């Protein structure tokens, strides 16, 4: 007989990640999957522990809704859709009010929909995933777990912009994002480095989106993304931080609409804009073109500058962590960032870095440098499990 299962969904503009856990057990069922290439030809990959269950290219499927429907169909056909009592969703923006895992009632969903302009690449996709999961699993509890929640306890001085108080009261604050990733890294550090969780730690979440977070004993004290997911270093297609005067210039002197500026800053800037070639790190690292090389120089420079800023917020640095797609896989980028952070006392072990080892700093390094794969899915599962089974825990992550 099938036990009670928990499905997690992380629906985005370019990929869909999912996993299934068993509610009664303290370890997951180890079913995890991803559909990549939502903007082109989707490709499904599903694992159960080390076993590959599926690897399919869906040439006749386009867009998130079609991919979700086909994914649910695959789960049902393989027997994994049985017994799902709850679906946990990554919701990028929780705004002022949503700091804990929350049952997604109609009222809650309306509030989250109003936040969509603050995360245009993510919020709408997240919420469409909720709608489709509710329709497919009508008896399952739908729960939101929020990327902004991990940063809600930051010191007020770290969250305030120098704006009039009435605008601050309306919610014009630095929220921070990638919170599920940072929460996972903090828990991994507690398990591997002890209760101090790496002491004064900076985590570099380097993926298509890029942000850094300063942790003190596992708690967020400062982060580079703020009111929106545009702030911070350059990203794959997002500009990162820039002078607000540029936005005024684009609208006043160039006559660009709000929609055109939004498209420019979210979809046509960052590494793609600087290189004129691609926002993909593998492509840029392989390119001999001068603009591609300079795009990477700007990327590394801006990240190193942010590390210096966050080290100042922490009053020093004990641990530097790289995570997410680029952070976990691009040894050259890690090496270049660490080279610019030598003044902090971090010393790279070139051999360990090239081999993709967990610890990539030399024994004599004053700062421990680590590579830790992130797992947002297990954080979603823990949040949902806390609502279903207060004593439940999910201490181990599946591998996709």
pLDDT tens readout for residues 31-43: 999 998 887 899 9
Confidence tier at 28 by pLDDT (50, 70, 90): low
Give the chain's mean pLDDT.
91
How far apart are the C-alpha atoms of 210 and 225, rounded to whole Å? 8
Superfamily of domain 192-371: ATPase, nucleotide binding domain (3.30.420.40)
| 145 in Cβ contact with 180 (< 8 Å) | yes
User: C-alpha angle 282/349/356, rounded to 5°?
Assistant: 40
What is the DSSP secondary structure assignment for residue 284, as one 8-state letter?
Answer: H
Q: Is the pLDDT of residue 12 over 80?
A: no
CATH 3.30.420.40 residue spans of the chain: 5-146, 192-371
pLDDT tens readout for residues 118-159: 888 788 889 999 999 999 999 999 999 999 999 999 999 999
Alpha helices in 137-202 (DSSP H): 156-159, 165-169, 179-193
Q: Are strands 210-216 and 200-206 parallel, antiparallel or unpaired?
A: antiparallel
Confidence tier at 398 by pLDDT (50, 70, 90): very low
Residues whose CB falls within 8 Å of the CB of residue 334, separated by 6 or more in sequence, listed in order: 322, 327, 348, 353, 360, 369, 371
Catalytic residues, by residue number, are 147
Alpha helices in the chain (DSSP H): 63-77, 106-113, 123-136, 156-159, 165-169, 179-193, 244-252, 258-267, 270-275, 281-286, 290-314, 324-329, 331-340, 350-354, 376-388
C-alpha torsion angle, residues 314, 317, 321, 327 (rounded to 10): 90
How far apart are the C-alpha atoms of 119 and 115, rounded to whole Å? 7
* Mean pLDDT calculated for residue range 233-237: 96
Please report the pLDDT score of residue 365 as a whole number. 97
Please report the pLDDT score of residue 192 as a whole number. 85
- Better pLDDT: 396 or 343: 343
pLDDT tens readout for residues 330-379: 999 999 999 999 999 999 999 999 999 999 999 999 999 999 999 999 99
Closest CA to 148 of 173, 131, 165: 173
* Mean pLDDT calculated for residue range 272-278: 97
Residues whose CB falls within 8 Å of the CB of residue 397, separated by 6 or more in sequence, listed in order: 28, 184, 375, 377, 378
How far apart are the C-alpha atoms of 70 and 162, rounded to whole Å? 47
pLDDT tens readout for residues 48-97: 888 999 999 999 888 888 899 999 999 999 999 999 999 999 999 998 89
Q: Is the pLDDT of residue 111 over 70?
A: yes
* Mean pLDDT calculated for residue range 378-382: 92
Category of 176 on φ-ψ map: left (φ > 0), alpha (ψ -120 to 50) or beta = left
Confidence tier at 178 by pLDDT (50, 70, 90): very high
Please report the pLDDT score of residue 25 as a whole number. 62
| 240 in Cβ contact with 234 (< 8 Å) | yes
- What does CATH list as the number for 5-146? 3.30.420.40
Please report the pLDDT score of residue 2 as a whole number. 66
Q: What are phi and psi of 359, to 5 degrees?
A: -100, 120
Q: Which of 4-18, 156-170, 377-391 has the lowest mean pLDDT?
A: 377-391
- Better pLDDT: 397 or 84: 84
């Amino acid at each position: 007989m099938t036990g009670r299962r928990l499905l997690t969904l992380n629906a985005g503009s370019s990929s869909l990640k999912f996993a299934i856990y068993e509610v009664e057990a303290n370890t997951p069922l180890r079913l995890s999957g991803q559909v990549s290439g939502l903007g082109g030809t989707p490709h499904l990959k599903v694992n159960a522990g080390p076993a590959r269950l599926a690897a399919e290219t869906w040439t006749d499927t386009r867009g998130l809704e079609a991919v979700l429907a086909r994914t649910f169909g695959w789960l049902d056909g393989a027997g994994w859709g049985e017994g799902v009592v709850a679906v946990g969703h990554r919701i990028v923006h929780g705004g002022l009010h949503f700091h804990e895992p929350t049952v997604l009632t109609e009222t809650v969903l309306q509030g989250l929909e109003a936040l969509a302009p603050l995360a245009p690449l993510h919020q709408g996709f997240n919420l469409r995933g909720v709608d489709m999961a509710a329709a497919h699993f009508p008896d399952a509890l739908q729960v939101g777990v929020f990327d902004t929640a991990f940063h809600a306890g930051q010191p007020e001085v770290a969250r305030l912009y120098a704006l009039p108080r009435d605008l601050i009261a309306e919610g014009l604050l630095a929220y921070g994002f990638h919170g599920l990733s940072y929460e996972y890294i903090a828990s991994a550090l507690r398990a591997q480095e002890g209760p101090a969780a790496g002491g004064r730690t900076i985590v570099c979440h380097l993926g298509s989106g890029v942000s850094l977070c300063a942790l003190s004993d596992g708690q967020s004290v400062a982060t580079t993304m703020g009111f929106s997911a545009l702030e911070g270093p350059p990203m794959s297609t997002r500009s990162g931080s820039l002078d607000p005067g540029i936005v005024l210039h684009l609208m006043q002197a160039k006559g660009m609409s709000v929609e055109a500026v939004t498209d420019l800053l979210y979809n046509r800037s960052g590494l793609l804009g600087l290189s004129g070639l691609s926002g993909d790190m593998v492509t840029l690292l392989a390119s001999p073109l001068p603009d591609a090389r300079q795009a990477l120089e700007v990327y590394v420079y801006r990240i190193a500058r942010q590390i210096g800023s966050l080290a100042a917020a922490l009053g020093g640095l004990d641990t530097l962590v790289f995570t997410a797609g680029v952070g976990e896989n691009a040894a050259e980028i890690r090496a270049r960032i660490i080279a610019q952070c030598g003044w902090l006392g971090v010393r790279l072990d070139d051999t360990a870095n090239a081999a993709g080892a967990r610890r990539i700093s030399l024994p004599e390094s004053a700062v421990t440098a680590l590579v830790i794969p992130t797992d947002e899915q297990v954080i979603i599962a823990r949040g949902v499990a806390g609502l279903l089974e207060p004593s439940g825990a999910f201490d181990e992550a599946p591998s996709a």
